[in-house]
Amino acid sequence: PVFVSEPRALDDVASSMQRLGVLTGRDGTPAATAFRDKIEALRARYADRRPVRVFYQVWAAPLMTLSGRHVISEAIALCGGRNVFADLAPIAPQVSVEAVVAADPEAVITAEPDARASDALAMWHQFPSMAATRRGQFYTLDADRLNRHGPRLADEIGALCVAIERTRATSIK
């Protein structure tokens, strides 16, 4: 028997926790409930905020992002962000540098192990016309927590929301 967990939405992450609990003979409901509660608290906290244009960079070469069909795009939205490539069809589309510059994101976000900044976002500094570059709104989140759809995902979505909120506060000035 093989158990496949491929969450397409944040609630699917909680449902997977419950199903894994059943498969392992443990009660996954407390973990699923705690996850849902954290997500709903974030959703309530950031509801009705001014939308922030966000480019989420998965990979630099080739340049890849996530569409609106990905769980991380849902997380961006619950924080009051708007994925600038949400309308693209593939779940992980390749995009051009020109398309990103034209989308004029206010924040550029990526994820690396332990949230260690790398050179992954350095290329964007050469585009001063982009709002994110003008305001220095580049963020590196913890890939281990954001890309593994388990209980720690909710905490890293909290860090994502903080980054988007900082961007929102900076753009008001």
Q: How do residues 85-144 score in pLDDT, each as one tens digit?
A: 999 999 999 999 999 999 999 999 999 999 998 899 999 999 999 999 999 999 999 999
Task: Record the pTM.
Answer: 0.94
Query: Looking at residue 172, what is its pLDDT?
Result: 63
Query: Looking at residue 103, what is its pLDDT?
Result: 98
Query: Looking at residue 1, what is its pLDDT?
Result: 82
Q: Sheet of 52-56: strands edge to edge? A: 81-83, 52-56, 107-112, 138-142
pLDDT tens by residue, 22-72: 999 999 999 999 999 999 999 999 999 999 999 999 999 999 999 999 999
| Structure-model confidence comparison of residues 5 and 101, the more confident one | 101
Query: Looking at residue 77, what is its pLDDT?
Result: 98
